[in-house]
């Protein structure tokens, strides 16, 4: 079946550092989504990507839909304490198919 | 309401009892998903409802799990004869037409003693 590989699994960073995480798939997707989950909450959508090569920003967050349609990355610039949480990527092969989820990247900011 | 509402937010039950978890999605969202999330883990797909089509039950882990969606809106996930390994957060999400974006509730945390 289709799989998503999300890396890294976890990241320990200093406040102010930039963060990068990515997802790769074994097949082509036509939608990539990035979510963040805070403790005790459901995931919240950060950025949605619908076209190969698309680069979209949301404040300090930037995500790109890879040109091969098999990968996507999420960058966070100048991290702050409230960025901690688990970030999930999700992809959709076509509009009639359910989302396929990465295993998540846990972001921890060192005090 | 404005968002996806799930109830109860927390449920503690004894092994062997049945539980029902409820999801009230955003009005107009035609697709509804149930996921399970164990502590520190990712999202495990359980079941997917899309309009009047037959639901995709391929993620249900055993026949103790079932779900229904009445009138295209509220959904109930039922777990019969609960086991300790059923302990997890159960998340519901809705999706609007012509979009891949899911909107999640806050989840129902189930603890089976």
pLDDT band at A2 (very low <50, low <70, confident <90, very high): low
Under the banding of pLDDT at 50, 70 and 90, the label for residue A95 is low
The residue in chain B having the minimum alpha-carbon distance to the alpha carbon of residue A100 is B45
> What pLDDT, on a 0 to 100 scale, did the predictor assign at position A1?
56
Among B27, B10, B38, B16, residue whose Cα is nearest residue B74: B27
Q: Give the pLDDT mean for A67-96.
A: 92
Residue B85 or A109, more confident: B85
β-sheet bridge partners, residue A105: A87
Task: Give tens-digit pLDDT for B7-49.
Answer: 999 999 999 999 999 999 988 888 899 999 998 888 999 999 9
By Cβ distance, the residue of B42, B56, B107 closest to A101 is B42
Contact: B107, A101; criterion CB under 8 Å: no
Pick B47 or B51 by higher pLDDT: B47
Q: Is residue B72 scored above 80 in pLDDT?
A: no
* A15-29, A30-44, A58-72, A90-104: least confident range: A90-104
**Considering only CB atoms, which chain B residues are within 8 Å of A90?**
100, 102
A40 pLDDT tier (thresholds 50, 70, 90): confident
Alpha-carbon Rg of chain B, whole angstroms? Answer: 13
Sheet containing strand A55-58, edge to edge, reads: A4-7, A19-25, A71-76, A61-65, A55-58
pLDDT at residue A42, as a whole number? 93
- Residue with structure tokens 């396929």? A100
pLDDT at residue B78 in the model? 98
Please give the Cα distance from B75 to A78 (Å, whole number): 41
Portion of chain B with pLDDT greater than 90, in percent: 73
Minimal Cβ distance to A31: which of B43, B91, B100: B100
Q: Tell me the three state secondary structure of residue B28.
A: coil
Statement: residue B103 has pLDDT above 70: yes
Question: Quick one: pLDDT at residue B41?
Answer: 84
């Amino acid at each position: 079946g289709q799989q998503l590989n999300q890396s890294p699994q976890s990241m320990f960073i200093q406040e102010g550092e930039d963060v990068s995480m990515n997802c790769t798939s074994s097949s082509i997707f036509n939608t990539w989504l990035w979510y963040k989950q805070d403790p005790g909450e459901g995931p919240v959508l950060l950025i949605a990507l619908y076209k190969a090569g698309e680069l979209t920003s949301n404040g300090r967050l930037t995500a790109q839909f890879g040109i091969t349609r098999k990968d996507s990355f999420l960058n966070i610039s100048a991290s702050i304490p409230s960025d901690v949480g688990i970030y999930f990527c999700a992809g959709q092969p076509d509009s009639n198919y359910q989302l396929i989820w990465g295993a998540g990247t846990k972001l921890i900011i060192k005090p | 309401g404005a968002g996806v509402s799930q109830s109860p937010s927390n449920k503690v039950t004894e092994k062997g009892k049945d539980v029902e978890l409820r999801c009230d999605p955003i009005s107009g969202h035609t697709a509804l998903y149930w996921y399970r999330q164990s502590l520190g883990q990712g999202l495990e797909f359980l079941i997917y409802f899309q309009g009047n089509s037959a639901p995709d039950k391929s993620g249900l882990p055993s026949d103790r799990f079932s779900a229904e969606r009445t009138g295209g809106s509220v959904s109930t996930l039922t777990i019969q004869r609960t086991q300790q390994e059923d302990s997890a957060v159960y998340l519901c999400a809705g999706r609007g037409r012509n979009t891949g974006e899911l909107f999640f509730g806050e989840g129902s945390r189930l603890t089976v003693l």
